[in-house]
Amino acid sequence: MSAPAELDRHLFRREAGRLIPALTRIFGVHNLALAEDVVQDAFCRALEVWKARGVPENPSAWLMATARNRALDVLRRERTARTFAPELGRLLETEWTLTPLVDEAFATGAIRDEQLRMMFSCCHPRLPEEVQLALVLNILCGFGAAEIAAAFLTGRAAVEKRIARGKTALAGAKRLFDLGDAEFESRLSTVRRALYLLFNEGYHGASADAPVHADLCAEALRLTMLLREHPPAATPTTDALAALMFLHAARLPARTDAAGDLSALVDQDRSRWDRRLIADGLALLERSAAGSEVSGYHVEAAIAAAHAGAPTLGDTDWPAIVALYDRLMAVAPSPVVALNRAIAIGERDGPERGLAALGAIADRDRLSAYPFFAAAHGELELRRGAPDAARKRFEAALALARNDAERRFLERRLEACR
Amino acid sequence: MSDFVFLFRATEADNREHMGTPERAQRSMEAWLTWIRDLEAKGHLKDAGQPLDRGGKVVRGKKKVITDGPYAESKDLVLGFMVVQARDLAQAVELSSGCPMLDGSGSVEIRPIAKFEM
């Protein structure tokens, strides 16, 4: 036996995310569970064959061919007993039309369209955002309930319930969202919002597991780029969202230091920022200026670009960043944005003004469980020479820490108060 | 060195459970590849075996009763096999201990290939 080829770390997840939408095109969304079964069968088959013969040259093509054959078996066996995709109707009835139809569903362009239709369907505005995210992660990214639960620090049962609820809604819709639908624009905005939340969950999320973090960011970025492949979805606002993800992702390698501990933006080793991602992000940001709309994504990307453009912390253009946060508060206000704005004010005008801005956050009670709200107070108290006050704030933050990385980070800040 | 056949047995349910999510499929596959690669690197892998199809027939008794598929009545079906070289049965058993089959409720049956001296 030849040495088995290296297995892509995400092979099965990624393939599930492509094959399930493709199969749904043939089976109909009411048969989503059947599509999942067929994919699972293909995976079981892969394990049996690959362990004897080694991983094939093109494992994706192998899995797709196996899923295709299995789909044909299912259609032949069950076409009288079950209803499949209604729009395909009589085409499934004869061998003459059956095989071409299945092959068409597995063509590259068709798979991409079905992934998009699935993405738009998962992001139904009547579904709560946590259900939308769980569905996207499960169906399009191939994450199981346990992995999603770990990423969101939620119980597995709760995630299973979200997925089940979402799938019931999908099946009830009878067919997937039509990309030519009149509601395309508004649904696109819900999709972007879900991808944004997915990225943020990866970037700032509560999970202690670093690889999960990076995976969520990578998935959000991948799906956003998939969105951009569909011209009607590749609007300046989508470009801005992609730019924002690239510019943040560029900083991911520096978010943890050599010991694996969290590193605040101000302490990061900027030589570890990914220059290529920054260049891609800046190019996207430039493209995003093409339209007249200025979305929150535009402003957030511009803030990230301002940080990326400063070779050292001292070079940071804090007045420009505060101005951008003012703008962000106008288009997409939130307590976390207000918190970041206050931190930027502290950098621009000194700790007293920063503390005043923190105290002026309108709905700051919504930040009461967020450890970095108390920690921001601590930093500013420390900088204005009040270590006792700072210590109290860091202790409060520590009590709210959601994982070991945050705990160690805050413990180190506490030590700085001595 | 002697040759031993490893027969991998599990229930269909256990097998599917292990491949139940893409993440689990990934882990199972990686575990198998690592285990097999290790056997190969140490010169113990004689034949990686052949994949077995699920279908098939079982023929039984003088009346040659034919039933569908081995799995219909067997709770623990043979999922595959391989041929391993080891010093003796004890070492063959030791080599099987890293088999991912054993992470679930599956089993590895180790059978020496009989030698006949002429």
Tokens of A56: 């094939």
pLDDT band at B78 (very low <50, low <70, confident <90, very high): confident
Chain B residues in contact with A1 by the CB 8 A cut-off are: 36, 40, 45, 48
pLDDT at A293 over 90: no
Cα A405 to Cα A261: distance, rounded to the nearest angstrom: 6
Question: Considering only alpha carbons, which residue of chain A is nearest residue B28?
Answer: A47
Judge whether A4 and A54 are in contact, CB under 8 Å: yes
Tens-place pLDDT, residues B16-61 = 777 778 988 999 999 999 999 999 999 999 999 988 877 788 888 8
Q: Is the pLDDT of residue A1 over 50?
A: no
* pLDDT score for A2: 42
Segment (H or E) for B92: helix B89-96
Better-predicted residue by pLDDT, A258 or A51: A51
Nearest to A52 among B22, B37, B50 (CB): B50
B-chain residues within 8 Å CB-CB of A53? 48, 51
Q: pLDDT-based confidence at B111, cuts 50/70/90?
A: very high
* A9 and chain B in contact, CB less than 8 A: yes
Alpha carbon distance A389, A394 (integer Å)? 9
d(CA B77, nearest CA chain A) in Å: 13
Per-residue pLDDT at A4 exceeds 80: no
Distances (CA, A) of B97 to B60, B100, B101: 34, 9, 9
The pLDDT of residue B101 is 87
Average pLDDT (A197-204) is: 87
How large is the average pLDDT for residues B58-69? Answer: 85
Of A133, A102, A412, nearest in space to A262 by CA:
A412
Among A221, A36, A225, residue whose Cα is nearest residue A135: A36
Mean pLDDT of chain B: 87
Question: Does residue A156 sit at the B interface (CB-CB below 8 Å)?
Answer: no
Those residues whose C-beta lies under 8 Å from the C-beta of residue A388, and which sit 6 or more positions away, are A417
Nearest CA in chain B to A54: B33
**Whether the predicted pLDDT of A413 surpasses 70:** yes
How is A192-259 classified by DSSP, letter by letter? HHHHHHHHHHHHH-S---HHHHHHHHHHHHHHHHHHHTSGGG--HHHHHHHHHHHHHHTTHHHHB-TT
What is the pTM for the complete model shown? 0.88
Which residues in chain A are closer than 8 Å to B15, comparing Cβ atoms? Answer: 44
**Chain B touched by A46 (CB under 8 Å):** yes
Beta bridge partners of B8: B80, B108
Sign of CA dihedral A61, A62, A63, A66: positive
Query: Taking residues A318-341, what's their average pLDDT?
Result: 95
Span A185-191, average pLDDT: 95
Q: How confident is the model at residue A243 (pLDDT cuts 50, 70, 90)?
A: very high
Note the helical H segments in A250-334: 252-255, 275-288, 296-308, 318-331
**What pLDDT shows up at residue B71?**
62
For A13, the closest chain B residue by CA position comes to B22
pLDDT tens sequence across A14-37:
999 999 999 999 999 999 999 999
Closest CA–CA distance from residue B61 to any residue of chain A (Å): 30
Closest CA to A23 of A136, A103, A89, A79: A103
Calculate how close chain B gets to A13, using CA atoms only, in Å: 5
Instruction: Using only the alpha carbons of chain A, give its radius of gyration.
Output: 24
Facing B80 at nearest CB: one of A11, A46, A52: A52
Question: Per-residue confidence at B70, pLDDT binned at 50, 70, 90?
Answer: low
Residue A211: per-residue pLDDT: 59
Q: Which residue has the higher pLDDT, A136 or B58?
A: A136
Tell me, what DSSP letter sits at residue B20?
S
Q: Determine the average pLDDT of the residues in A88-108.
A: 84
> What's the rounded mean pLDDT across residues A178-182?
93
Phi, psi of B82 (to 5 degrees): -155, 165
| Selected residue with higher pLDDT from A170 and A94 | A170
By Cβ distance, the residue of B19, B23, B79 closest to A13 is B23
Pairwise CA distance, residues A46 & A282, whole Å: 41
Question: How many angstroms separate the most distant Cα atoms in chain A?
Answer: 81
Q: What is the mean pLDDT of chain A?
A: 90
Distance CA A166, CA A128 (A): 9
CA A410 – CA A245 distance, rounded (Å): 26
Segment (H or E) for B81 = strand B77-86
Task: Please determine, for residue B73, whether its predicted confidence score (pLDDT) is greater than 60.
Answer: no
Give the A:B interface size as CB pairs under 8 Å.
84
Model pLDDT, residue A3: 42
**CA atoms within a 13 Å half-sphere pointing along the CA-CB vector of A145:** 14
- The predicted pLDDT at position A56 comes to 93
**Which of A236-240, A248-252, B27-31 has the highest average model confidence (pLDDT)?**
A236-240
Q: Is B49 left (phi over 0), alpha (psi -120 to 50) or beta?
A: left
Under 8 Å CB-to-CB from A129, ≥6 apart: which residues? A193, A194, A197
Question: In this structure, is the dihedral angle defined by the CA atoms of residues A37, A39, A40 and A41, taken in order, positive or negative?
Answer: positive
Give chain B's contact residues with A (Cβ, < 8 Å): 15-16, 19-26, 28-30, 32-33, 36-37, 40, 45, 48-52, 79-80, 82
**Cα of A172 vs its chain's centroid, Å:** 26
Residues A376-405: pLDDT tens digits? Answer: 999 999 999 999 999 999 999 999 998 888
SS3 per-residue string spanning A74-103: HHHHHCCCCCCCCCCHHHHCCHHHHHHHHH
CA distance A28 to A326: 47
| pLDDT class of A70 with cuts at 50, 70, 90 | very high
Alpha carbons B51 and A50: distance in angstroms, whole number: 8
The whole-number average pLDDT for the span A371-376 is: 94
Give the up-direction half-sphere exposure of residue A181: CA atoms within 13 A in the CB hemisphere: 15
Q: Tell me, what's the ipTM?
A: 0.87
pLDDT at A381: 96
Which is more confident, B19 or A412?
A412
Kindly tell me if the per-residue pLDDT of B5 is higher than 90: yes
Share of chain A above pLDDT 70, in %: 97
Residue count of chain B, please give it: 118
Determine the average pLDDT of the residues in A243-272.
85
Burial degree of B114 (CB within 10 A; 0-12, 13-18, 19+): exposed
B68's enclosing H/E stretch is strand B65-68
pLDDT at A5 over 60: no
Radius of gyration of chain B (CA): 16
